[in-house]
Amino acid sequence: MRRLRRRFLARSAAQPTDPREAATIEQNEDSINRRSKRAPRRDRVRLAIIIVNYRTPELTVDCIRSLMSERGHASSPAAQVVVVDNASEDASLNLINAAIEAHGWSGAVELVPSPANRGFAAGNNLGIRMVNADQYLLLNPDTVVAPSAVNRLAAFLDEHSEVGVVGAQLLDENGRSQRSAHRFPSPLREFMGSSQLGVLERLLPRVADPVVNSNEPTGCDWVSGAAMLIRRGAIDQIGLLDEDYFLYFEEVDFCRRAREAGWQVWLDPRAEVVHLEGSATGIRRCQSRRGRWWYESRRRFFIKHYGILGWLWADLLWSIGRMSLLIRRLLRLGGSTIDDPTRFTLDLLGGDVRALVTGQALHIKRRLVS
pLDDT digits (tens, 9 = 90+) for 75-102: 556 789 999 999 999 999 999 999 999 9
CA 231 to chain centre: 16
Reference 127, options 114, 115, 143; nearest CA is 114
The mean pLDDT of 25-54, rounded to a whole number, is 71
Looking at per-residue pLDDT, the higher value among 310 and 199 belongs to 310
pLDDT category of residue 33 using cuts at 50, 70 and 90: low
| Beta strands at 181-182 and 227-231: parallel, antiparallel or unpaired | unpaired
Contact at 8 Å (CB) between 137 and 131? no
* 3-184+221-275 to CATH, choices 3.40.50.720, 3.40.190.10, 3.90.550.60, 3.40.50.2000: 3.90.550.60
**Taking phi first (over 0 means left), then psi (-120 to 50 degrees means alpha), and beta for anything else, what does residue 104 get?**
left
In the chain, the amino acid numbered 91 is A
Which pLDDT does position 367 carry in this prediction? 94
d(CA 108, CA 71): 9
**Taking phi first (over 0 means left), then psi (-120 to 50 degrees means alpha), and beta for anything else, what does residue 87 get?**
left
The mean pLDDT of 160-183, rounded to a whole number, is 95
pLDDT category of residue 24 using cuts at 50, 70 and 90: very low
| Beta strands at 227-231 and 163-171: parallel, antiparallel or unpaired | antiparallel
> φ, ψ for residue 25 (rounded to 5)?
-60, -40
Check residue 367 and report its DSSP letter: H
The chain-wide mean pLDDT, for the chain, equals 87
Domain with CATH 3.90.550.60 in the chain: 3-184+221-275
In the chain, the amino acid numbered 173 is E
Looking at per-residue pLDDT, the higher value among 78 and 36 belongs to 78
DSSP state letters, 45-77: EEEEEEEEESS-HHHHHHHHHHHHTTTTSTTSP
Which pLDDT does position 5 carry in this prediction? 60
d(CA 291, CA 41): 36
Looking at per-residue pLDDT, the higher value among 42 and 122 belongs to 122
d(CA 326, CA 192): 14
Which pLDDT does position 19 carry in this prediction? 42
Residues 357-369: pLDDT tens digits? Answer: 999 999 999 999 9
Residues 217-237: pLDDT tens digits? Answer: 999 999 999 999 999 999 999
Report field, pTM of the whole predicted structure over 0.75 = yes
Radius of gyration of the chain (CA): 21
The percent of residues in the chain predicted with pLDDT above 90, rounded, is 71
The percent of residues in the chain predicted with pLDDT above 70, rounded, is 82
Which pLDDT does position 203 carry in this prediction? 77
